[in-house]
């Protein structure tokens, strides 16, 4: 059974239809979702670029490495210069990835 029980037909001019399709492409939403968002006054944001998925995956891996080093440092009650340098390098790598993506 459908979640939505009401249907509305809508007539658009060619220009309006092209604009609607352009907004769908920019937002990544289909026409129904875009119109529902508009009706409910939801802020429609542009779809993030595909490179964001790769960036988030890389940042997650870097964050995991930093967390493992922090856990190790807490468990041994100390951290050496090599580990500090490794964390600094990972953080610099993360910043480079963010800057290159934006």
pLDDT in tens, the chain (102 residues): 778 888 899 999 999 999 999 999 999 999 999 999 999 999 998 888 878 888 888 888 888 888 888 887 778 777 777 877 887 888 888 888 777 776
Regarding pTM above 0.75, the answer is: no
On whether both 25 and 60 belong to a single domain, the answer is no
How far apart, in whole angstroms, are the C-alpha atoms of residue 71 and residue 58? Answer: 20
For 81, the domain range is 51-101
On whether both 37 and 76 belong to a single domain, the answer is no
The pLDDT of residue 69 is 80
Q: Domain total for the chain?
A: 2
CA atoms within 13 A on the CB side of 19: 6
The pLDDT of residue 17 is 96
On whether both 4 and 26 belong to a single domain, the answer is yes
On whether both 43 and 55 belong to a single domain, the answer is no
Q: Is 47 in contact with 22 (CB distance < 8 Å)?
A: no
On whether both 58 and 97 belong to a single domain, the answer is yes
On whether both 60 and 20 belong to a single domain, the answer is no
């Amino acid at each position: 059974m459908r979640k939505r029980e009401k249907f509305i037909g809508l007539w658009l001019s060619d220009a309006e239809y092209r604009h609607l399709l352009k907004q769908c492409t920019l937002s990544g939403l289909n026409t129904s979702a875009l119109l529902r968002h508009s009706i409910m006054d939801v802020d429609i944001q542009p779809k993030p670029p595909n490179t964001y998925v790769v960036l988030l995956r890389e940042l997650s891996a870097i964050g995991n490495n930093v967390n493992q080093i922090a856990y190790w440092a807490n468990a041994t009650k100390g951290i050496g210069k090599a580990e500090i340098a490794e964390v600094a390098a990972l953080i610099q790598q993360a910043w480079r990835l963010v800057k290159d993506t934006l």
